[in-house]
Amino acid sequence: MRLKDKVAIITGGAHGMGEAEARLFAKEGAAVVIADVLEKEGEAVAADICVNQGRATFVKADVTSESAWEQLIATTIATYGRLDILVNNAGISGSSVGDQLALAGWEKLIAVNATSVFMGTTQAAAEMAKTGGGSIVNISSIMGFIGAADSHPGYSASKGAVRIFTKTAAVRFGPTGVRVNSVHPGYLPPMINRPNPPERAAKAAATPLRRLGEVMDVAYGVLYLASDEASFVTGTELVIDGGYIAQ
């Protein structure tokens, strides 16, 4: 019960890594608010957590909307009374916006992957400060560290923005007890599931540990940063990539 009595919001919690984190957090004792645009999937994950004796609620929220953030945080406080943890996990891949050099794709990636993190972090930090602090975990990527020819420029820029914004937020909100850290997954399903199998095999072969990551590889790292075990950890970067960027 590493998150006993904590209240956590996980964006993008209806699918993929966010879903794994929602299930793990609930198992570790947290009440979880799953925020996503995918209503049916999000409701199903929350219901399944409750069936298994966990506490979870789904809130339909588009993280690019400032008023959606206000509503999400207000619903969390109304339902569970406080906010201790925010995982800014919702994101879209570069392949979902088409032409890598078109402005529209760049703007969409920055809005969903980076501007959302700014809005969520600032609003959640203000709420957490009222109860003496909390933990915010921002999901970036190894693309926030390195260049890659097959990475959409807007995706890489959005993840680089999350990385350095996280440090600025850690410094700014540290005195209020709010910790802010970033996590940098390497190549994992489900986003990597979209390319064809040979590409998956190539990514695994290029990874020192010779496999793609699993959602739980990332979820355990996020759990650590969210928990009180990391109470002296802020402004740091946790890379979970099988050694890919160590090369």
Q: Which residues are catalytic?
A: 155
**Position 120 contacts ligand NAD (CB under 6 A):** no
Q: Which is nearer to ligand NAD, 31 or 63 (CB)?
A: 63
Residues between 152 and 211 with contacts to ligand NAD, criterion CB under 6 A = 185, 187-188, 190-192
Please give the span between the terminal C-alpha atoms of the chain, in angstroms, as a whole number: 36
Q: How far is CA 20 from CA 24, 26, 32, 64, 226, in A?
A: 6, 10, 12, 22, 14
**Position 239 contacts ligand NAD (CB under 6 A):** no
The span of 36-44, 76-84, 98-106, 229-237 binding ligand NAD (CB under 6 A) equals 36-44
Which of 3, 9, 14, 22 touches ligand NAD by CB under 6 A?
14
**Position 223 contacts ligand NAD (CB under 6 A):** no
Which of 2, 27, 29, 38 touches ligand NAD by CB under 6 A?
38
CB of 109 to ligand NAD, least distance (A): 9
CB of 96 to ligand NAD, least distance (A): 8
User: What are φ and ψ of residue 124, in 5° steps?
Assistant: -70, -40
Residue 138 amino acid letter? N
The span of 69-77, 88-96, 97-105, 223-231 binding ligand NAD (CB under 6 A) equals 88-96
Q: Which is nearer to ligand NAD, 83 or 222 (CB)?
A: 222
User: What are φ and ψ of residue 61, in 5° steps?
Assistant: -150, 135
In terms of Cα–Cα distance, which of 94, 217, 214 is closest to 148?
Answer: 94
Which of 8, 86, 112, 125 touches ligand NAD by CB under 6 A?
112
CB of 90 to ligand NAD, least distance (A): 4
Q: Which is nearer to ligand NAD, 110 or 129 (CB)?
A: 110
Residue 155 amino acid letter? Y
Specify the long-range contacts of residues 160-168, CB closer than 8 Å, at least 24 apart.
161/110, 161/113, 161/114, 161/117, 162/88, 162/113, 162/114, 162/117, 162/138, 163/237, 165/114, 165/117, 165/118, 165/121, 165/138, 166/117, 166/121, 166/138, 166/140, 166/235, 166/237, 167/235
Residues near ligand NAD (CB under 6 A) are 11-12, 14-18, 36-38, 61-64, 89-92, 112, 139, 141, 185, 187-188, 190-192
